[in-house]
């Protein structure tokens, strides 16, 4: 089970708490720390995990592969975040809370590579998991990717940033900044397969395509020509011509 943490952030410290219920005799939970500013730091860790229970517990460190972490980040963002449709096959979801933001992109197309440009502008007191405040990624067909994790600097009281994005077709997978290098954290940005159930859900939300076989440009031109012809006929009928019956005009008549 994946609980949804509730984060509270103070001026100098960060807190998170969650209540988990055990439905069976045995249950297993994995707590994934999302302190990305700590991953690249050589300083001693300043965060402590405390677990309280009415029943006996076994708490032990569990190695987590970066691929598993990427899937967990994408899952929780897809479930909790705000989705934007950048193109018919490209969906971008942003999940924000008091600790920062996670931005993912999902390519629903079964055949197309799609390039996503992300730019974090006017940033103050934030750090990016990409090591830069911009990214350019080409997603393979039927894949999704954690584009960026935005975290607040420790102790920062004033935080602000803006996000702009764009999408374009592409030929092959590529990433700027590069991913999968020496920095372990960069591997959370490796594209992963889009779950079939998620792909079906996103496709059901796509706007309907225009009916096949209809020439939209030709139809628009024909409507415009018909309108112009009707206006021309109206103008010719409104100038000159014979008086209309009952309009008050009288001709010469012989007196009895």
> What pLDDT does residue 186 have?
82
Tens place of pLDDT per residue across the chain (256 aa)? 333 333 333 333 455 677 777 766 677 787 776 666 566 566 666 667 788 888 788 888 888 788 888 898 999 899 999 999 888 889 999 998 877 899 999 999 999 999 999 999 888 888 888 889 999 999 999 999 999 998 888 777 788 888 888 999 999 999 999 987 777 778 889 999 999 888 888 888 766 555 556 666 676 677 677 767 777 776 666 544 444 444 444 444 444 4
Return d(Cα 218, Cα 13) in angstroms, integer: 63
Pair 192, 74: CB distance under 8 Å? yes
Q: What is the DSSP letter of 245?
A: T
Provide the pLDDT for residue 235.
Answer: 66
Give me the pLDDT at residue 245, please: 42
Under 8 Å between Cβ of 133 and 162: no
Report which of 103, 98, 104 is spatially closest to residue 194, judged by C-alpha positions: 104
237 three-class SS:
helix
* Token pair recorded at residue 155: 């102790």
In three-state secondary structure terms, 64 is coil
- Residue 126, SS3 per DSSP: strand
* Residue 211 pLDDT: 59
Give burial (CB, 10 Å; 0-12/13-18/19+) of 187. middle
| Terminal-to-terminal C-alpha distance of the chain | 108
């Amino acid at each position: 089970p994946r609980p949804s943490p509730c984060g509270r952030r103070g001026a100098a410290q960060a807190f998170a708490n969650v209540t988990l219920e055990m439905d069976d005799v045995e249950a297993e939970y994995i707590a994934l720390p999302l302190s990305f500013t700590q991953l690249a730091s050589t300083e001693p860790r300043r965060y402590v995990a405390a677990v309280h229970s009415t029943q006996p517990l076994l708490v032990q460190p569990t190695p987590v592969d970066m691929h598993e972490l990427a899937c967990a980040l994408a899952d929780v963002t897809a479930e909790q975040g705000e989705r934007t449709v950048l193109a018919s096959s490209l969906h971008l979801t942003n999940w924000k809370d008091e600790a920062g933001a996670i931005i993912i992109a999902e390519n629903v197309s079964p055949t197309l590579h799609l390039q996503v440009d992300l730019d974090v502008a006017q940033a103050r007191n934030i750090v990016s998991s990409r090591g830069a405040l911009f990214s350019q990624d080409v997603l393979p067909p039927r894949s999704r990717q954690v584009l960026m994790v935005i975290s607040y600097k420790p102790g920062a009281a004033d935080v602000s940033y803006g996000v702009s994005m764009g999408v374009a077709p592409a030929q092959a997978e590529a990433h700027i900044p590069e991913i999968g290098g020496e920095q372990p954290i960069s591997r959370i940005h490796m594209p992963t397969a889009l779950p079939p159930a998620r792909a079906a859900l996103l496709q059901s939300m796509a706007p309907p395509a225009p009916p096949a076989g209809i020439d939209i440009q030709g139809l628009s031109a024909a409507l415009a020509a018909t309108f112009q012809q009707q206006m021309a006929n109206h103008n010719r009928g409104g100038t000159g011509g014979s008086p209309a019956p009952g309009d008050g005009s009288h001709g010469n008549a012989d007196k009895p």
